[in-house]
Amino acid sequence: KRDVVLAPGLVVLRGFVDAPRADAVLAAVDAVAPRFAVPAYANGQRIHCRMACLGRAWDAATGTYVPTSRNDDAVPAIPASLAALAHDAALAAARHDARVLGCGPSYDTPDVCLLNFYADDEPNAKMGLHQDRAESDDALRRGAPVVSVSIGADAIFVVGATRDDAGSKTRIRLRSGDVVCFGGPSRLVYHGVELVAPFADAAPSAPRGMRPGRLNLTFRRSR
């Protein structure tokens, strides 16, 4: 369960979210009742997971943040307990590599949390290599960190210098409770999910009361 520095400004915290806190994360998400949906890109291709937003809505078709969801639903605020989790994880990662916090004067409190749910019964559950770059130029210039929390099933997380160069990719297995933080020089790293393992194989820290699958909470500062 050793933490890993994968690249400058990119840190994996092993088992950072223990079982009680994972239960609290699910309770906090359930309390705001976000509406999960399968979004599609502008070309009509659907994303292989269900998504919901907290703080601000992200629109897959335009790749931008919008005031409301495509169903004109109001976007729930990020619960304080989830914001605190992102804060704690970012500071823990910075103890391994201070560059993860970017070049801002202090920790950049996230104003967006994307929720991705990879269902156990989705045979193609995955997320292709991409950059998180819908945020403002100022936020990207600061290198404000992305904090990505894994709850539930294991997954193969992949990062790369480019989207296409197979030789540049690094793969690492993420388990329930692991957190990936990337900022500063790694803020625009290409990353994705190649495989989601069966929920039955998940580590003991995976909440057994959750719907079988993997929940990923990705916090970032958008502006």
- Tens digit of pLDDT for each residue in 160-195? 988 876 668 899 999 999 999 999 999 999 999 999
Convert the pLDDT of each residue in 1-31 to its tens digit.
799 999 999 999 999 999 999 999 999 999 9
pLDDT at 70: 60
Give DSSP secondary structure letters for 63-116.
Answer: TEEESS-TT-PPPPPPPHHHHHHHHHHHHHHHHH-GGGGTTSSS----SEEEEE
Confidence at 68, pLDDT banded by 50, 70, 90: low
Convert the pLDDT of each residue in 72-129 to its tens digit.
678 999 999 999 999 999 999 999 999 999 998 788 999 999 999 999 988 889 999 9
pLDDT at 45: 85
Other Cβ atoms less than 10 A from the Cβ of 106: the count is 6
Q: Which residue has the tokens 């193609």?
A: 124
Q: Which residue has the tokens 């560059």?
A: 99
Specify which residues 5 forms β-bridges with.
11
- Do residues 17 and 179 touch, judged by C-beta distance below 8 A? yes
pLDDT at 122: 87
Mean pLDDT estimate for the chain: 92
Q: What percent of the chain stands above pLDDT 70?
A: 96
10 in helix, strand or coil?
strand
138 in helix, strand or coil?
helix
Report the greatest alpha carbon distance in the chain: 44
What is the value of pTM for the model shown?
A: 0.94
Separation between Cα atoms, residue 39 and residue 58, nearest integer Å: 10
